[in-house]
Structure 1
Amino acid sequence: MSNPTGYSMQDATQDDSITQRAYLRLKSDLIACRLPPGQRINISRIQRETGFSQAAVREALSRLTSEGLAEIERHSGFRASPISTTGFRELSEASMVLEVPCLRSAIEHGGLEWEGKLLATIHMSSRMLAEVVEGRAELDKYTAHREAFYDALLSPCENKWLLKSWKQLYVQQMRYRHTFRKLAEYELSLSEYYRNFIDAILARDTDRAIALCLEKYEKVIDFVEHLEATGDEAKAS
């Protein structure tokens, strides 16, 4: 049978692949704040720099809008979603609501192999954090290892809808770590907290692990709000 449009399934697959590559590139740039929060996204410039078509870039940005990383502007434009300290508190409070039951389920169902992954990923995350603070590694490397730790931590959670929702909020948290870069230094000062947190998990002391989890959230919220209140120059422009 002839194809009157001349458009094949192979063409469709190639278009999907190009759009997916554009999506992954733009998502990475938005999370790392290489596309600064609140700034209008120049689609023509992205097209020139990446070689992606305008159609692929627009479709990718539409997907990222549904994930809260970009916003649609009037006259069919896009901008990187803005962030604020008020937004960080609200984001953290929502994350706590989701993370607590995920953590409870993970501790209940995680096995010996899971414990090994926790120890390995927290070790790598801690080492990379120290290198970032010392200026020997880029922040991207730490955030990648930190994400690997939290993915491992919550992976035994049996409620995949909770886990999926938590992951979407975690992606937003990473944007704040790229905006308030002094968070890396502050998190290095929490090394004893992380040791106690891991010890509680390995001891299957769920209540203590959850209490430490919530305490850490409050400490980080207070620190970010302090940075904003004092106008700390470490906040990215």
Structure 2
Amino acid sequence: MSAAPHLRVALHAEWTKLRTAPGTVGLLLAVVATTVAIGALAAAATPCPATGCELDPTRLSLTGVQLGQAVVAILAVQAIGGEYGTGMVRVSLTAMPHRVAMLTAKAIILVSVVTAAAAVAVPASLLFGGLALPDGAEPPAGGGAVLRAAVGSVLYLALIALLSLGIATAARNAAAAVGLVLALLYVYPLVALAFADQDWQRRLEKLGPATAGLAVRATTGLDDLPIGPWKGLGVLAAWAAAALVTGALLLHRRDA
């Protein structure tokens, strides 16, 4: 059987598994709810001095992406970590012995549902974040920079899903995989900030999946960022690709 029929069968199987898995719908709704709610709260809690606001309303409204990514990571890890935890992965690999096709199908289905959720969460964050901004602050307007931040934030969450899936495939343990992903997303930035040397701090921020990738939300002060928006998203894409390739190689070579 060629690769295309393998993939079609695997796509159908992975879609069925994901949509029937307990918690999938709840996690997707949580991605939207947390992303929008945190963005609105951050916008509402930001003071605006009488002398004028010097803030990036788009980036502020998209603050919730930093929490929404944790829910995306949990969803992605469960997509394969749950099968390892229950032993169902043996059944999956018996039914679909073409392991790379199975992982590819998981990635496609996962990215599809996460992108759909993010495509709701990001515009809603811009809308409600703009409404919650303090008096004197301009809400996110249209234009290329805002569109880039919106599209980039959707892509950011999709790439976080792929990064998490790759790590979970390599780790074969949901708890360990979640810990590794959350450490990369939240502990790594703190480690980078702990460096007193500004040059080293910026170097580390350029290399981190979250510290680099989240630069895509910015629409002002781009020269002050450690890395440009699209370059930062490229760094995250490299992390995701490396994790998926590593996971695929280990999945292919190891016993279930």
> Fold-level match, TM-score > 0.5?
no
Computing the radius of gyration over CA atoms, which structure comes out larger, 1 or 2?
1
Structure in which a larger fraction of residues adopt helix: 2
For normalisation by structure 2, the TM-score amounts to 0.28
For normalisation by structure 1, the TM-score amounts to 0.30
